[in-house]
Amino acid sequence: MRIPCAYANWKMHKTLKEALEFVYEFVPALFRTVKEGSVGVTIFPPAPYIWAIRQELTDQSPIFIGAQDIHTEKEGAFTGGISGNILRSVGATHIIVGHSERRHVAGDTNEIVGKKLKRVLSDRLIPVLCVGEQLREREEGKAMEVVEEQLSTAWTGHEVTGGGLIAYEPVWAIGTGKNAEPKDAQEMCSFIRTWVSKHFTPETASAIRILYGGSIMSDNIEHYVKLPDVDGALVGGASLDPKQFLEIARTIARTGGGGTS
């Protein structure tokens, strides 16, 4: 069974004080209301906060901390870059790779995303590979073609394992208040799982977790995590509110995600 996931991408929000206040409110409430092992929770704060938040969690805490990006190189003269070794040393276990804002704002090409994925795997961290099409590409009927190219370029030469995650985030639904229809989300997530099965093994495809992201809120998450091939959510704006993110995590834990089907 694939354990369903609630992943919080805070992007460039919160002061350190606000981040710690979130942890102090969210973590005890989660432990009180959600059965242990029923949902995997990872928080992706701004990188300077990773160490501080990790220190507030016990070693037995089921909550993990991740980073929103990584440099392609192991080390060197790369001002402003953060390596996998640095991130792991401060407590990060998961790394988001290829988020649409890195692709379309920061200029990360499919090839750069592939190099970052290689770095994550080489540094023994858990990747969360983001894929997704823009609105024009969907309207032109090219959504699957775009996602397949993103998958192929990123995973070429690398082994996919059940420990990695793939997040389908249609670009036009991120931070816009718009959502992919559940049937469209299921169609794409099923396509991704089939792609993994064809290029690796059916066992890997069955084990890997696929998340949906794109204006996820507490009042719409249930529509998505009930889908057979959606194992949870990568949540943006709604994850900044501890109460709303708690409700999202509760719903995912209660419904179980596609992994229980």
99 carries an active-site annotation: yes
**Model confidence over 147-166: pLDDT tens digits?**
999 999 998 877 776 678 99
139 carries an active-site annotation: no
**Model confidence over 179-217: pLDDT tens digits?**
789 999 999 999 999 999 999 999 999 999 999 998 899
- What CATH number did the domain enclosing 137 receive? 3.20.20.70
Spot the catalytic one: 101, 133, 137, 169.
169
Average pLDDT over residues 243-259: 89
Q: 128: helix, coil or strand?
A: strand
**Residue whose pair of structure tokens reads 């003269």 in the numeric block:** 77
Average pLDDT over residues 38-65: 92
Q: Are 46 and 12 in contact (CB under 8 A)?
A: yes
**What confidence tier does 260 reach under pLDDT thresholds 50, 70, 90?**
very low
Is the whole-model pTM more than 0.85? yes
Extended beta strands in 10-68, E state: 40-44, 63-67
DSSP β-bridge partners for residue 14: none
Residue 79: what are its φ and ψ, rounded to 5°?
-55, 130
What confidence score (pLDDT) does residue 215 get? Answer: 84
Structural domain boundaries, residue 248: 5-260
The per-type count for the chain, helices as H runs and strands as E runs, is 11, 8
**Model confidence over 82-138: pLDDT tens digits?**
999 999 999 999 999 999 999 999 999 999 999 999 999 999 999 999 999 998 999
Q: Are 18 and 223 in contact (CB under 8 A)?
A: no
**Structural domain total, the chain:** 1
Q: Are 171 and 132 in contact (CB under 8 A)?
A: yes
DSSP β-bridge partners for residue 94: 66, 126
Spot the catalytic one: 71, 94, 99, 133.
99
**Model confidence over 74-90: pLDDT tens digits?**
999 999 999 999 999 99
